[in-house]
Amino acid sequence: MSAAAEIAREQLFGDVLACTEIHPAAFVPGPFDASRLRVHAVQAEALLRALAVIEDGARNDESDPHAEGVFRRLEAKIDLLTALVAGLAAGHSTDPARPLQWSSRGARLVTDAAAPPLTQGLFRVQPAEWLPSPLVLPATVIALEAEGSSGLHALWLRFEPLPPALGAALERHLFRVHRRAVAESRRIGK
């Protein structure tokens, strides 16, 4: 691992929870547009909050006899359906599944497209297997390294400062992913 990649690893994953997964994901280079960044932040937060309500609600269905919880989950599902239809109308393409490691600070994405350090753009990932709507976060390449002799590259992407509510929602999402991975490994180990 190069010195730049080692520094990037420490910056992105040093003292925070990080998850390693394979998900449809991409990095789309391009300059930041302040108004689009606000829109992406609002959409990303809404997507993560709706996922949290649905995923946590599925686990708590038996323990939540109150109608309020049922209505919150129904509302979250409608929000996700609306986002899905809007995405389909906008013509979102499906990204290939790629190995990635990510935290609330950034991601390491293995891809066939190289982008030099300091390249700005959007990190796009499908945060749940059952939901084709992408989570879009502004990111800057902080390191690039070749991934063996396969022609693939690892992009080290630092998320641009996220609004506090979005950062907290992303941390909670990654915690749920981690919790599921631990439960699955325990299940397999039995």
DSSP of 153-168, one letter per residue? EEEEEEEPPPPHHHHH
Per DSSP, the three-state class of 72 is helix
The pLDDT tens digits of the residues spanning 71-124 come to 666 776 776 676 666 556 455 557 899 999 999 999 999 999 899 999 999 999
Phi first, then psi: what are they for 114, rounded to 5°?
-85, 145
How confident is the model over 44-60, as a mean pLDDT? 78
Model pLDDT for residues 93-103, shown as the tens digit of each residue: 578 999 999 99
What is this structure's pTM? 0.80
Q: Are the beta carbons of 178 and 185 closer than 8 angstroms?
A: no
- How far is Cα 161 from Cα 159, in angstroms, rounded to an integer? 6
Please list, in sequence order, all residues whose beta carbon lies within 8 angstroms of the beta carbon of residue 152, skipping any fewer than 6 positions away: 110, 111, 112, 146
Instruction: Classify burial at 147, counting beta carbons within 10 Å of its beta carbon; exposed 0-12, middle 13-18, buried 19 or more.
Output: middle
Question: Each residue of 20-31: pLDDT tens digit?
Answer: 999 999 999 999
